[in-house]
Structure 1
Amino acid sequence: MPVAARIPRELRFAPFSGSRAVAAGRITWRMLRGPAWQRLLPDVYVEAASYDPDDHRMWCEAVAVKLPIGGAISGLSAAYLCGVDLLPRRSPVHVTLPRSTRPKPNRQIAVTYATLAPTDVTTLFNDIPMTTEVRTAFDLGRLLPRADALAALDAMLHRRLLSREALTRYLDTKAGARLVAQLRELVALAEPLAESPMESRLRLLLHDAGLPRPTPQYEVRLPPPGVASPAARPGSRGRFIARVDLAYPQWRIAIEYEGDHHRERMTFRRDVTRYNALQAAGWLVVRCTADEVLRQKEQLAHSVRRAIAGRSPTTADAKIM
């Protein structure tokens, strides 16, 4: 019966440098070539029982083992470590390295070359060097495609990882950086109340179509009897009807993104009840799917524009606000 490999306590769970572990006498090269260990990168290993090819944090820890001085986990990977997951499955680890370094290409690592100030770098759990929240937002807002960049900024603001004011102040110190104009535009459009990347894309679609800026996560309420609107009497908010993704309260128009989870039976039933309540309250609901947001933008914008045109300005004084 084979004897189970002895796993040194210091080498459990987290990736480590094989050469350093051997030099410290914790393990031998022969042991590392055995089934108890999984090689992740050149000279970087992890206990086989802890290996998960879809664990991006594990890959970040592995890359951090070999980062040169001045390098840091950055971009979408830094955002992921902060709790903002916008990564595609099995994404490479995004890092920023000094321009003086030229590592061998590796499909697990996506490199951006830049000089990071000491104040641009922080550390997380296992001493992983990563860009600060404001530097991460600065990079994502400039370097990602515009819609992805807005989704990233929205998510970071939503999780209160930074404020719009802090990002603006940081941006003012980087006037000569690449693609600053895109970031300045998106900072003004970013919305802390946004709750999903598709909602961010939908808002950007409406903006690009020249439509008015909608109110995110708007609560539709029915005023108490004898009150013209919930805001007419201090402290009187009215009976809650629904919270909608985006709204034009002045026209009583709600815009709702329908993700795949809305096809589930219980969600579908709740949606029907909810939309019926909104309709009874005098609201028009424009429902849209991922295909419309991503590939039928002009048609969706036209539907919203037509909905606005069909609502008389007098509805701004309607009882349902």
Structure 2
Amino acid sequence: MPRTARVPRELAFLPFLGSRAVADGLLTRDMLRGAAWRRLLPDVYVLAAGYRPEDHRMWCEAVALTLPPGAAFCGLSAAYLWGVDLLDRQTPVSVALPSGVRRRRHPRIRYGYPRLAPGDHDHLAGLPVTTPARTAYDLGRQASMTESVVAVDALLARRLVRVNQLTEYAAARRRWPGVDRFRRALAFADPLSGSPMETRLRLTLVRGGLPAPVLQFEIHDGQGRFVGRVDFAYPRWRIAIEYEGDHHRERSQFRRDVARLNALRAQGWLVLRFTADDVVRQPARLLALVSQAIQERRQTAPPGTN
């Protein structure tokens, strides 16, 4: 297509079937082979100027054009479409296919054949997708307990589903493979988790043998005035634990953090702050620091608070 040629409005934003565009007279086969268009899948194209190789939704839109009836996006792709982004940069699109349907392998697509009941899939913005409950159930049966809880926490935090719904969902499928893993993940799940890394930090504490902290704890001064909310707290020892993400490096956020930290200290709170490196690479050190803080506070706490 010449550089000055007009792009048909119907093809300017979303992936499309090349054969349909040709049949509708919007393009010719020669035009499709030009630099203005990018081939994503067999017979599926997108405007080259709008091509984003790491745009998971673009790939979902492209794959949707090839899906047979009864297929649905599932797993991490379903979670993403519901607004829960747990993806790595190169995560392939996850698709549940009906039994008997076969598709050629593609590096950007992961096909599977899970059994989907009629109530297990829905349509979201025109795309077939597993329901939040089914998505949580699938992701909650992963081999990694941590990643299972991270996924369930994230779906609960978005209020896409509730704990009691997932409990009932599992009970109705008690003979399904992996249901015990899902129940274990659900036992650790908490809808107050603020982010996947906060979930990982909490699991590090609990699975490391420390008491379960209180999530999103609000701290008030002696007059009942709000001082701040902390990610995790051990209220009886006045220990607060914060996860520091990258956004805390911004100057304005840093200033707010300092003022908040000083206000918490003025109320007698000890604040421990951890980063992703602490959680992922140095969990033993993290546990040792929290354990030491608890021990010190136990020794100085008033009688009856230990």
Answer whether TM exceeds 0.5 for this pair.
Answer: yes
The aligned counterpart of 1:232 is none
Q: RMSD over aligned Cα, in angstroms?
A: 2.2
1:60 maps onto 2:60 in alignment: yes
Deviation at 1:315, TM superposition (A): 7.1
Deviation at 1:144, TM superposition (A): 6.0
Secondary structure class of the residue paired with 1:142: coil
1:314 maps onto 2:302 in alignment: yes
Q: Give me the whole-angstrom Cα distance separating, in 2, the residues matched to 1:315 and 1:252.
A: 15
CA-to-aligned-CA distance 1:224-281 (integer Å, 9 cap, x gap): 2xxxxxxxxxxxxx11222111001111111111223333333333323222222221
The aligned counterpart of 1:138 is 137
Residues 72/144 of structure 1: CA separation in 2 closer, same or farther (3 Å cut): farther
Q: Give me the whole-angstrom Cα distance separating, in 2, the residues matched to 1:40 and 1:316.
A: 66
The aligned counterpart of 1:228 is none
Residues 138/315 of structure 1: CA separation in 2 closer, same or farther (3 Å cut): farther
CA-to-aligned-CA distance 1:55-103 (integer Å, 9 cap, x gap): 2111101011111232211111111111111111232211122342331
Deviation at 1:19, TM superposition (A): 2.3
The aligned counterpart of 2:220 is 221
What percentage of aligned pairs have identical amino acids? 55
CA-to-aligned-CA distance 1:288-319 (integer Å, 9 cap, x gap): 2212211222221222222222223537769x
CA-to-aligned-CA distance 1:202-242 (integer Å, 9 cap, x gap): 11111111221111111111122xxxxxxxxxxxxx11222
Q: Is the 8 A contact 1:254 1:286 kept in 2?
A: yes
Q: Give me the whole-angstrom Cα distance separating, in 2, the residues matched to 1:269 and 1:50.
A: 38
TM-score of the two chains, using structure 2 as the length reference: 0.91
2:242 paired residue among 250, 256, 267: 256
5 Å-filtered alignment, 1:109-120, equals: 109-120=109-120
Q: Is the 8 A contact 1:249 1:316 kept in 2?
A: no
Structure 1, unpaired ranges of 5+: 225-237
Residues 51/155 of structure 1: CA separation in 2 closer, same or farther (3 Å cut): same
Q: Give me the whole-angstrom Cα distance separating, in 1, the residues matched to 2:303 and 2:259.
A: 24
Secondary structure class of the residue paired with 1:310: helix
Deviation at 1:133, TM superposition (A): 0.9
The aligned counterpart of 1:129 is 128
The aligned counterpart of 2:196 is 197
Residues 263/14 of structure 1: CA separation in 2 closer, same or farther (3 Å cut): closer
Deviation at 1:11, TM superposition (A): 3.0
Q: Where does structure 1 differ by over 6 angstroms across 4 or more consecutive aligned residues?
A: 315-318
The aligned counterpart of 1:282 is 268
Q: Give me the whole-angstrom Cα distance separating, in 2, the residues matched to 1:268 and 1:9.
A: 45
1:45 maps onto 2:45 in alignment: yes
- How many matched pairs? 304
Q: Give me the whole-angstrom Cα distance separating, in 1, the residues matched to 2:167 and 2:248.
A: 37
